[in-house]
Amino acid sequence: LCPPQRHGLAVCLALTTMCTSLLLMYGGIGIGGGHPEPRRRQQQQQVAAVPSRPPERGQRHPALPVGAGLLEGYISLCRDREDVSADCVSLQPLKMHCRSCALVTSSGQLLGSRQGRRIDESECVIRMNDAPTRGYGNDVGNKTSLRVIAHSSIQRILRNRNELLNMSHGAVFIFWGPSSYMRRDGKGLVYNNLQLMNQILPQLKVYMISRHKMLQFDDLFKRETGKDRKISNTWLSTGWFTMTIALELCDRINVYGMVPPDFCRDPNHLSVPYHYYEPLGPDECTMYISHERGRKGSHHRFLTEKRVFENWARTFNIRFFQPDWEPQPLPGAQPEASPLA
């Protein structure tokens, strides 16, 4: 139903899946205290699903569709207005497109990497949550174009706003969270904090992921893994949202600090902290494995997500650095002939 497109986000839903995905909710009522979102513009860009298998040899990605660079499903808080305390959001699409992106993880794999200059040479640099750059520039760079932030990180963002917000000139901030946290009737914890942030720094480009878009992320996870997010007690990670958003806005994605899916199976794997800025924090592989195996309560499925990212890298222009690795060939796949042969 959705032919593969080079720049599409992997969340194009057929009408049937749209109907069923409405049953997959993060809980609570949606953004706006239960009021349905307005209809989308009739001429919005149709985005394509990430295929579940790599393209055949010689297959080329279609040209960039008309309207690319307009990202739907991101709700902007109003800026440059007199009454910043009043409820005000914009449903206009986020306008952003980058030829090359550096997606910088928060992994301890980046410590001592000296990848900072290479990262900053990218047209756009994407970071996650409250991962700092000050004091780590040699390894992770200093430039920030987009920061994707979980609801659980907003307090740390506010505490460190002088570094993470004031120093990020022109950067876009996208916040995600359960719909009950994003509601705009005074009961949404994240939305209330974003309103406060908008009062303190009204020039910031702040967006929230809409409830409908969140359901699309859920549906994407189910289609790529065969697992229902809610039934499997899974919380999608910020990495899941960040990689998928990067597919929407980037022609080429260089990922820094993401290990391959089977990295932690090697008994001699390098032990690093889960976050590069928390050297005494938990071990990365210990965190990945404990979440992957967790059954009681909700957990991130880090290793499952990495298998999906590996598969996407077989189709899209995604490269992994620090550590450097490439997707493993699928069983029975024929090696592609060298273009110089």
- Identify whether the C-beta of residue 91 lies closer than 8 Å to the C-beta of residue 38: yes
**Mean pLDDT over residues 46-74, rounded?**
46
Is a pLDDT exceeding 60 seen at residue 37?
Answer: no
What pLDDT, on a 0 to 100 scale, did the predictor assign at position 296? 72
The CA distance from 198 to 79, in Å, is 8
Structural domains of the chain in order of their starting residue, each with its CATH number: 15-35+66-321 (3.90.1480.20)
Given pLDDT bands bounded at 50, 70 and 90, which one contains residue 93? confident
Residues in contact with 333: Cβ distance below 8 Å, sequence separation at least 6, in sequence order: 54
- Identify whether the C-beta of residue 24 lies closer than 8 Å to the C-beta of residue 227: no
Report pLDDT digits (tens) over 117-144: 999 999 999 999 999 999 999 999 999 9
Report pLDDT digits (tens) over 276-290: 999 999 999 999 999
> Rounded to the nearest 5°, which phi and psi values hold at 151?
-55, -30
Given pLDDT bands bounded at 50, 70 and 90, which one contains residue 197? confident
What pLDDT, on a 0 to 100 scale, did the predictor assign at position 193? 82
- Identify whether the C-beta of residue 256 lies closer than 8 Å to the C-beta of residue 322: yes
What pLDDT, on a 0 to 100 scale, did the predictor assign at position 78? 65
DSSP symbols for 178-247: -HHHH-TTTT-HHHHHHHHHHHH-TTSEEEEE-HHHHHHHHHHHHHHHS--TTTTTB---HHHHHHHHHH
> Rounded to the nearest 5°, which phi and psi values hold at 236?
-65, 140
Q: Between 73 and 243, name the one with better pLDDT.
A: 243
Is a pLDDT exceeding 50 seen at residue 58?
Answer: no
What pLDDT, on a 0 to 100 scale, did the predictor assign at position 43? 31
Tell me how long the chain is: 341
DSSP symbols for 58-109: T--PPPPPTTTTEE-SEEEEP-S-S-TTS--EE-SPEE--EEEEEEE---GG
Across the chain, what does the average pLDDT equal?
77
Euclidean distance between the first and final Cα of the chain, in Å?
36
Could you tell me the pTM of the whole model?
A: 0.75
Using CA of residue 14, residue 15, residue 16, residue 22, what is the dihedral sign? Answer: positive
Residue 210: exposure state from Cβ atoms within 10 A (0-12, 13-18, ≥19): buried
**Residue 121: other Cβ atoms inside 10 A:** 13
In the chain, what percentage of residues exceed pLDDT 70? 72
